[in-house]
Amino acid sequence: MRRSLRRFLCFSSKSWDPAGSTTHNTENVEDSIRLRSTGRAPAQSRVAGPSLEGLGSVQPRTHSVAPSRCDSSTQTESTIASESVTRATTVSTVIVNTSTGPETLAKLTSTSILNTTTPYTPIMQPDGSLRAPQLTFDGYDSYGGRFAPESIMGFLYELTSFFEATVSDSSFWEEYVTFQRARVTPLHMAGKLTSLAGGATIWLKREDKNEYGSHKTRNIIGQLLLARRMGRSEIVTECASAKHGKFTAAMCARLGLRCVVAMGADDASAQEEDVLEMKSLGAKVLMARAPSGMGSLRSAITEALRYAVCNHESAYYLMGSPVGPSPLPTLARTFQALLGEEVAAQMHEAVGRQPDALVTAVGSGSGAIGLFRPFLHDPAIRLVGVEAAKAAALTDGGLGVLQGARTLLLQNDDGQILDSHSISPDMNLSTVSPEVAHWKDSDRIEISTATDAVALDGFRTLQHHEGVLAGLDSSHAVAKTLDLARELGPGKNVVLMVTGCDTISVSELDG
């Protein structure tokens, strides 16, 4: 059984130290900012988000002084929100007493109720065309924000204005449809999985059918086209599962853009062939390892931020996850929401109504912001996320600032980031999307956890019952989907998002 599973997961037990790649020590760039008590009562200050008025032409970029020296110790986070940061932030700034527990602390900062009454206005039209979205930079409450070094503030200001103007242009969406190579991924009824559950009908949203199996294709394509319109010639992004890096590298090659992919050293060594394929597609691969020894997604994001700071005049930072300083999470959710829109249209065509529940794994939150967002306004639809048991920022995290945004983090009492672990590269992260954190605090989404063993059982379940080789991230959510189907009972419908298979090495399977 172990030998068979090893073959299907494309596992490799070979060790690897890729030549020609650089490992950066990212010391001093990922300390979190713990919100300390100031002796004052909780206070809140909100500033208006950017307006669409007067955006007939894009404002020129405000140049700021570049750092005189740029190396692996470049600071990528400010320790306080400066006056310019406050003006740029489109979320609340809250002063709280951190003597309470992490869960209570997070609840205290969520002072507004999530809007579940205003229906979502889709970008995708019945004829398959796309139209400009009703763009908003809110939805984060006291989470999110813009905590960034001065050297890239000009870029973030420019990006905010340019993004607003560009997504309001119908020609952008016409171009997007041309380059959206994934098209619409299938939604099919999982007949054997439904029989196994003995309850609600289970549907699989087959994101594994995307090119390279990446569920982030919508966001990647949208931001690449945005970067090209901005005149940027170099793209820097991060990845944990190499499938996202491969898709980005392939699209950059097609669009004539230089590509830099930051990857944790441990993740890269476990995906040797995929990294070589990224390089063959023209990408430069940077590998990072945090001081703690973690060579995972956290290190990759930090290294990508470092590179963006050092090359802020020419590089476009394509944040693959819905994290980082504003407006990066808003860009990701705008494009990723097309995933949920596809599900809504497909379910209406298949059964004439919307699903009763949707389930996805939650690492950084890319799947959740895509699958869940079009359904937030309908409280009758259950939205369920599953975290890795040892990387559960929503379940066990406390409030802090990391890598440019205020969100929930795995941290100790001194605000130091705790190491995470997951058998899935995409799930191995100590933080989570600020928007998903807000949904959780507003009780709009349900969160549970799954161990590595449960994830492997989920992989085998999809393999044996549906003939699907799923990603180890979505495998975390299989058991919860079966339980939910039994709970809802016959006549109901549950949708599970399935990602593409990972090519990784898992030595414990040989033990």
Lowest-pLDDT range, 129-133, 190-194, 272-276, 469-473?
Answer: 129-133
In a domain, 57, yes or no: no
Token pair 């060579």: residue: 295
pLDDT for res 312: 84
Number of Cβ within a 10 Å radius of residue 28 = 14
Tell me the pLDDT band of 127, cut-offs 50, 70 and 90. confident
pLDDT for res 8: 35
Shared-domain flag, residues 376 and 454: yes
Shared-domain flag, residues 369 and 500: yes
In a domain, 221, yes or no: yes
pLDDT for res 249: 98
Shared-domain flag, residues 298 and 365: no
Helix (H) or strand (E) holding 330, with range, is helix 328-351
In a domain, 65, yes or no: no
Per cent of the chain over pLDDT 70 is 74
pLDDT in tens, 331-365: 999 999 999 999 999 999 999 999 999 999 999 99
Shared-domain flag, residues 377 and 287: no
Domain boundary among 271, 297, 327: 327
Comparing 91 with 205, the larger pLDDT belongs to: 205
Q: Is the pLDDT of residue 84 over 50?
A: no
Q: Cβ(499)–Cβ(474) under 8 Å?
A: yes
Token pair 């869960």: residue: 103
Q: Is the pLDDT of residue 325 over 90?
A: yes
Domain assignment of residue 175, given as a range: 150-180+216-327
Closest CA to 281 of 241, 242, 253, 254: 253
In a domain, 425, yes or no: yes
Per cent of the chain over pLDDT 90 is 65
pLDDT in tens, 480-491: 999 999 999 999
- Stretch 270-286: mean pLDDT, rounded? 96
pLDDT in tens, 287-299: 987 665 478 999 9
Lowest-pLDDT range, 2-6, 22-26, 37-41?
Answer: 37-41
Shared-domain flag, residues 263 and 223: yes
DSSP string, 335-394: HHHHHHHHHHHHHHHHHSS--SEEEEE-SSSHHHHHHTGGGTT-TTSEEEEEEETTS-HH
Closest CA to 164 of 56, 291, 295, 21: 56
Shared-domain flag, residues 276 and 414: no
Amino acid at 288: A
pLDDT for res 85: 32
Lowest-pLDDT range, 96-110, 173-187, 230-244, 284-298?
Answer: 96-110
Domain boundary among 327, 362, 380: 327
In a domain, 250, yes or no: yes
How many domains, the chain? Answer: 2
pLDDT in tens, 94-117: 222 233 344 434 443 434 456 555
- Stretch 110-128: mean pLDDT, rounded? 72
- Stretch 2-25: mean pLDDT, rounded? 40
Can you say how many angstroms the Cα of residue 159 is from the centroid of all Cα atoms in its chain?
Answer: 19
pLDDT for res 4: 40
Task: Please classify residue 58 by burial: count the beta carbons closer than 10 Å to its beta carbon, then call 0-12 exposed, 13-18 middle and 19+ buried.
Answer: middle
Comparing 497 with 85, the larger pLDDT belongs to: 497
pLDDT in tens, 358-416: 999 999 999 999 999 999 999 999 999 999 999 999 999 999 999 899 999 999 999 89
Q: Is the pLDDT of residue 132 over 80?
A: yes
Shared-domain flag, residues 464 and 355: yes
Domain boundary among 283, 301, 327: 327
Shared-domain flag, residues 476 and 366: yes
Shared-domain flag, residues 399 and 497: yes
pLDDT in tens, 416-464: 999 999 999 999 999 999 999 999 999 999 999 999 999 999 999 999 9
pLDDT in tens, 135-160: 888 778 899 999 988 888 988 999 99
Shared-domain flag, residues 348 and 373: yes
In a domain, 445, yes or no: yes
Shared-domain flag, residues 387 and 269: no
In a domain, 122, yes or no: no
Lowest-pLDDT range, 74-83, 124-133, 346-355?
Answer: 74-83
Amino acid at 395: T
Question: What value does the mean pLDDT of the chain take?
Answer: 80
Calpha distance 273→268 (Å, rounded): 9
Closest CA to 369 of 102, 120, 51: 120
In a domain, 109, yes or no: no
pLDDT for res 509: 39
Q: Cβ(304)–Cβ(239) under 8 Å?
A: no
Q: What are phi and psi of 231, to 5 degrees?
A: 85, 10
Q: What are phi and psi of 195, to 5 degrees?
A: -65, -40
pLDDT for res 151: 83
Shared-domain flag, residues 288 and 391: no
Which CATH number characterizes residue 242's domain?
3.40.50.1100
pLDDT in tens, 32-57: 444 433 333 332 322 233 332 322 33
CA angle centred on 442, ends 357 and 435, rounded to 5°: 85
Amino acid at 40: R
SS3 content of the chain, % helix, strand, coil (to 5): 40, 15, 45
pLDDT for res 92: 28
